[in-house]
Amino acid sequence: MRTSIWSYALMAAGSCLAQGDLAGLLSSQEDLSTLLELVSLVPGLADTLAAASNITIVAPTNAAFDAVPRNVPEGEAIEQKNDSIAIGALLANHVFKGVYPSDIITDVPTFAQTLLNSSYIIPRQPFSNFTGGQYNGLVKNGDDVCILSGEQTISTVTQADIKLGDGITIHKIDTVLSFGPPLQLYTYRAGYLAMNAALEAADLGIDIGLTGADEKGLNISDFTIFIPKNDALSSIGSVLETADKNTLQQVLKYHIIPNNVIFSPSLGNVTIPSLQGDNLTFTVLPDGSAWVNNAKITFANAILYNGIAHEIDAVLNPGDFDRASLKPSAPASERIAFPSAAAVPISELPFSSIAFQGDQETYTKTPALLQTMIAVPTSTSGAATTGAATGTQSTPTPTGAAEFPGAANSLFPHAVMALPVAIGAAAALL
């Protein structure tokens, strides 16, 4: 049976092939032979994927697969070729729900969901835990179309809009998409060591994306978290020195929005409840800067295993915040939300234990593209919109994004029924 899958004949010339001929398409492209080999390791994947409709496949080239380090989950799946769950997870992360031709992708990123879901679990880790599928982004960068994924990874489309019938669009990419890391692993790799240690000390009892008998906690998938810079926590060091564990827990929970995946262009002048219970007040100014209470979002839309993280320049203090009191021209040192707080050197903060210390995959340089995106400006007097409250976008839905006949249960082993697509537009902030 497998022989017949790989022996499909090409049904059309050029880059447009008949629906159902995925294997033929891949075999006709010399630089996609590694992808063809991986697809062949998941029984029945080629024909079931080709029979699906309204999907976009981002196809790493052979060089892209060769460049993946073999000591990360993606590289292990590629190298060992003996773990169908890991391989299935890797491939599912490269299939978007919805057709995204290159001409609808703009310089304001759209974050769309893929077929990678929480059913892909190996003893060491799960691969994703978003309701409806892992988020990755699509964005225009000058003349290039890029795909954004976990671990601050940017993949550039090298050949766009290869058609497979009417329902499948394929883009070749130069870099394999990365899985989103768990929260505390991200804080370590991104250098947010003070927040990492604070989360460790607070022991919030939440799921951070690990498996095993010793890993227990509340699953808060689909969350948005605001991560203060190291200097922000240092600036309220005197408060942290005297805070008991319960106080620390309440402050950190105030930085989390549960059950709400919010990308930056979905923000407006709204209030949204935090995990702690008090509301967070958001403001987006005409210059494109976005604020949560008195803190500026300085780096946005980091993709995690089960949530989205935004860096902020001040620590948030639970309680009501009056938007009219915001002073956006003031430096962070003058926007401290804890009265009478005094700074303490980071090395003297009352947290000593750091999760994932010694991990070798730290980020040494944040790609310029992720640093230079801006938010979508709104009026400071604007009202909340559905998109702002739910994290979904208000931009047009891509062709066929809400329809996936045959593409949910049978597309990959271990896959569960995909929920209706929930697409969030996103842009990182200055």
Tens of each residue's pLDDT in the chain, 430 residues: 222 222 222 222 233 444 457 888 888 999 999 999 999 888 777 777 777 789 999 999 999 999 998 888 888 888 878 788 889 999 999 999 999 999 999 988 899 999 999 888 887 777 899 999 999 999 999 999 999 999 999 999 999 999 988 789 999 999 999 999 999 899 999 999 999 999 999 988 876 655 555 555 666 789 999 999 999 999 999 999 999 999 999 999 999 999 999 998 788 899 999 999 999 999 999 888 999 999 999 999 999 999 999 999 999 999 999 999 999 999 999 999 998 899 999 999 999 899 888 888 888 778 888 877 666 665 444 433 333 444 433 333 455 443 333 333 334 443 322 222 222 222 333 3
Instruction: Judge if 338 and 196 occupy the same domain.
Output: yes
Tell me, what's the pLDDT at 419?
25
Dihedral sign, Cα of residue 346, residue 349, residue 351, residue 352: positive
Judge whether 364 lies within some domain.
Answer: yes
Instruction: Judge if 224 and 99 occupy the same domain.
Output: no
Instruction: Judge if 298 and 356 occupy the same domain.
Output: yes
Tell me, what's the pLDDT at 226?
97
CA 114 to CA 52: how far, in whole Å? 14
> What beta strand segments (E) does 115-243 contain?
121-122, 125-126, 135-141, 144-149, 153-164, 168-173, 223-228
* Nearest Cα residue to 316 out of 342, 287, 282: 282
Instruction: Judge if 153 and 58 occupy the same domain.
Output: yes
Instruction: Judge if 267 and 254 occupy the same domain.
Output: yes
Ramachandran class of 27: left when φ > 0, alpha when ψ lies in -120 to 50, beta otherwise: alpha
Which phi and psi angles does 374 have, rounded to 5°? -120, 165
Tell me, what's the pLDDT at 375?
65
Instruction: Judge if 257 and 217 occupy the same domain.
Output: yes
Instruction: Judge if 56 and 99 occupy the same domain.
Output: yes
Tell me, what's the pLDDT at 215?
57
What CATH number is associated with residue 158? Answer: 2.30.180.10
CA 165 to CA 33: how far, in whole Å? 21
**CB contact at 8 A, 230 and 193:** yes
Instruction: Judge if 117 and 226 occupy the same domain.
Output: no
**How many structural domains comprise the chain?**
2
Instruction: Judge if 113 and 208 occupy the same domain.
Output: no
Judge whether 110 lies within some domain.
Answer: yes
Judge whether 268 lies within some domain.
Answer: yes
Judge whether 205 lies within some domain.
Answer: yes
Judge whether 430 lies within some domain.
Answer: no
Tell me, what's the pLDDT at 208?
61
Tell me, what's the pLDDT at 411?
42
Instruction: Judge if 169 and 43 occupy the same domain.
Output: yes
Judge whether 59 lies within some domain.
Answer: yes
**CB contact at 8 A, 362 and 188:** yes
Instruction: Judge if 267 and 192 occupy the same domain.
Output: yes
Tell me, what's the pLDDT at 410?
33
The CA–CA distances, whole Å, from 96 to 21, 76, 100, 339 equal: 19, 23, 8, 47
Tell me, what's the pLDDT at 133?
95
Instruction: Give 335-352 as a DSSP string.
Output: --SSTT-----GGGSS--
CA 31 to CA 67: how far, in whole Å? 14
**CB contact at 8 A, 262 and 308:** yes
**Domain coverage including residue 405:** 2-179+395-425
Instruction: Judge if 131 and 267 occupy the same domain.
Output: no
